[in-house]
Amino acid sequence: MPILRQDITTRSWTIIATERAKRPHDFVKDQKEVLELPEYDPQCPFCPGNEHIAPPEVFSITGSDGRWKIRVVPNKFPALVKSQRSGERLRWRNGPYIEMPGEGIHEVVIECPQHSRTIATMDLAQVETVVTTYRERFLTIDSSATNQMIIIFRNQGEGAGTSLLHPHSQIVATPIVPVDVRRRLEEAQRYYDDNGTCVYCDIIRYEMSTKERLVESNHGFVVICPFASTVPFEMWILPIRHEASFGQLSDAEIPLLAHSLRSSLTRLHKLLGNPDYNYVVRSAPHYTAMEPHFHWHIQILPRLTKTAGFEIGSGMAINVTLPEEAASSLREVKVE
Amino acid sequence: MPILRQDITTRSWTIIATERAKRPHDFVKDQKEVLELPEYDPQCPFCPGNEHIAPPEVFSITGSDGRWKIRVVPNKFPALVKSQRSGERLRWRNGPYIEMPGEGIHEVVIECPQHSRTIATMDLAQVETVVTTYRERFLTIDSSATNQMIIIFRNQGEGAGTSLLHPHSQIVATPIVPVDVRRRLEEAQRYYDDNGTCVYCDIIRYEMSTKERLVESNHGFVVICPFASTVPFEMWILPIRHEASFGQLSDAEIPLLAHSLRSSLTRLHKLLGNPDYNYVVRSAPHYTAMEPHFHWHIQILPRLTKTAGFEIGSGMAINVTLPEEAASSLREVKVE
């Protein structure tokens, strides 16, 4: 019989449809679908030598050889654009509705010069550079109060919504706190009110003790398949130290996070043959960064199944893979 | 500059990225991608003659020739299964989490005997049969209080998550009211508290007066591209008479709804070359069917673009087509 599981961080229910359960190999991509990319593609706007195609960079880290190791550029087709005004934010009525200008930030993190890499196949030092860059951009963007919410995300593969193959992440800052984010904060606050503890800290403690859904952990981070995983092989990377905002990531935690991120994505890469996925950094927004209720984390969502009308109509997910089995398969993958 | 628009029924913001705007023909499928299906496929489990493949039907309407015009069968691979217990519902704790059995209803509406049709290409009488069947099943399923929420939906095309091509819809009843649904009810109630009117009634009144986003209307229903459309060519079909629950659909409204549904999907079909889409019936759940705040409607979501990390992380949509332009293009399509 299927089972309903509640995500206690959102009160959303997931249907775990065990009768429809698939084994990991059912999800493995056809070998012919796994693209073998060249190290360098002269047509790629993100490859070295084509720096002039993208808008001027806002951040970069250069190696001892004088070449860039990572670059951040404004998105050439931004969803939100930098405000030209100063001062107060603007909203207006349009009949019964409300509108505001699409002001914000939309940046692209070009993660490394090599066209063919992905987080799973970069060396650890390069993933540290990526994490460092995330934090630097987060802190800079967060220092302006008009950037209310910062979303860092990565789309891997066409099925995850990317058109450019060169390894990259994106950073968007919105001028409002999205209602979906606000609700996560409210649920965390409600849990804190009821229990006097952080819901994410409680999850970490419980998952570390049972180990059923634990994928791996180090001194700074724990990787789990969440209890109410919405998709097969969903993973959360959580800092063990309670921190509301991603901007609170410490220098000492950077290599530990880089290790967890690279290692968990390597497990996914090896187990399922380089599947498409999205990951998002879920952080407290600017104005609640100092509140004790939220706990930032990274959510990794492989794109192995399609959402359809039921998910749209209910907001509930149907997951065909038991999270305990996903975690067990991921744990068994050998990583360096 | 992009613009942010708030959906006043959910408080969600959509980014309308006008710089990325596409014209309707950019979305039109390649002709070679538009499948020409046979009227009858002997391999199809839903085609006449293969009735024994599906579980025994729970409802059907038979024509004067003694053959079925529509059939409803339990889903062979249900996401939720009928409860074998009687009496109270069951939930249990699993560490800090909550679980419950996956009990409910999952039915398939086989909309017509012809393998090749879709709502846009059925005759009007057949679409009336579909709408009648929706209401009959809704009323039957809604009569049991254990079925807290009924979702009627249709997945058209592989991109919309369907694997079977024979025209069909699905009906799922869940043993809980999903948090996403609860929030829509809360927003409608809050609007009612603030304004003394139904938010959907106000939207209908405004859209009928400006006509900017109006696709079509008849004496019973209005079809609009919503102000904060989350995807290109999104449409809502709303009953003009205020009704919280889909079960309140009157006999007189059935042909009017059939007309609106068929006509709006025909516009989409002709304009974009039979695009993939989902539609969902958004109704008040069982226990609030008599409350005045909600207003049922059908949401049609063409699957022309992909969601990615930003949408996952923020819960916000990026829509590349201005709803006013979508409505204008849809209005211009000639329908019988």
**Beta strand pairing status for B12-16 and B317-319?**
parallel
In our burial notation (b when 16+ CB lie closer than 10 A, e otherwise), range A303-323 reads bbbebbbbbbbbbbbbbbbbb
Helices and strands counted in chain B (H then E): 7, 15
Helix ranges, chain A (H): 24-27, 124-142, 179-195, 199-210, 253-272, 309-314, 323-332
Q: Judge whether A178 is closer than 8 Å to chain B, CB to CB.
A: yes
Residues 6+ apart with CB under 8 A from B128: B254, B255, B258
Domain that holds residue A317: 3-79+100-332
Residue A85 falls within a domain, yes or no?
Answer: no
Residue B94 falls within a domain, yes or no?
Answer: no
Two tokens at A206? 């419980």
Nearest CA among A318, A246, A215 for reference residue B104? A318
Residue A303 falls within a domain, yes or no?
Answer: yes
Residue with tokens 């001892």: A64
Residue B111 falls within a domain, yes or no?
Answer: yes
Tens of pLDDT along B151-167? 999 999 989 999 889 99
Residue A93 falls within a domain, yes or no?
Answer: no
Nearest CA among B180, B233, B193, B200 for reference residue B7? B200
The Cα B300–Cα B333 span in angstroms is 17
Residue A73 falls within a domain, yes or no?
Answer: yes
Q: Residue A178: which of B149, B281, B315 has the nearest Cβ? A: B315
Residue B326 falls within a domain, yes or no?
Answer: yes
Two tokens at B128? 């009336």
Q: Residue A17: which of B79, B153, B174 has the nearest Cβ? A: B79
Residue B304 falls within a domain, yes or no?
Answer: yes
The Cα B229–Cα B231 span in angstroms is 6
**Residue pLDDT tens, chain B, 336 long:** 899 999 999 999 999 997 766 667 778 776 555 567 899 999 999 999 999 998 999 999 999 999 999 999 999 989 999 887 766 668 899 999 999 999 999 999 999 999 999 999 999 999 999 999 999 999 999 998 889 999 999 999 989 999 889 999 999 999 999 999 999 999 999 999 999 999 999 999 999 999 999 999 999 999 999 999 999 999 999 999 999 999 999 999 999 999 999 999 999 999 999 999 999 999 999 876 667 789 999 999 999 999 999 999 999 999 999 999 999 999 999 997
Catalytic (active site) residue A168: yes
- Check if the beta carbon of residue A324 is closer than 8 Å to that of residue A213: yes
| CATH code, domain with B18 | 3.30.428.10
Number of domains in chain A: 1
Yes or no, beta carbons of A3 and B99 under 8 Å apart? yes
Catalytic residue, candidates B106, B115, B168, B293: B168
For the CA atoms of B313, B315, B320, B326, the dihedral, rounded to the nearest 10 degrees, stands at: 170
Q: Residue B179: which of A12, A172, A199 has the nearest Cβ? A: A12
pLDDT at A194: 94
Report B:250-309 residues touching A (Cβ under 8 A). 278-282, 299, 301, 306-309
A324: number of Cβ within 10 Å: 15
Q: Which residues of A touch B210 (CB under 8 A)?
A: 95
pLDDT-derived band of residue A31, with 50, 70 and 90 as boundaries?
low
Tens of pLDDT along A165-204? 999 999 999 999 999 999 999 999 999 999 999 999 999 9
The percent of residues above 70 in pLDDT, for chain A, comes to 95
Q: Judge whether A164 is closer than 8 Å to chain B, CB to CB.
A: no
Q: Judge whether A39 is closer than 8 Å to chain B, CB to CB.
A: no
Q: Judge whether B99 is closer than 8 Å to chain A, CB to CB.
A: yes
Q: Judge whether B240 is closer than 8 Å to chain A, CB to CB.
A: no
- Check if the beta carbon of residue B282 is closer than 8 Å to that of residue B159: no
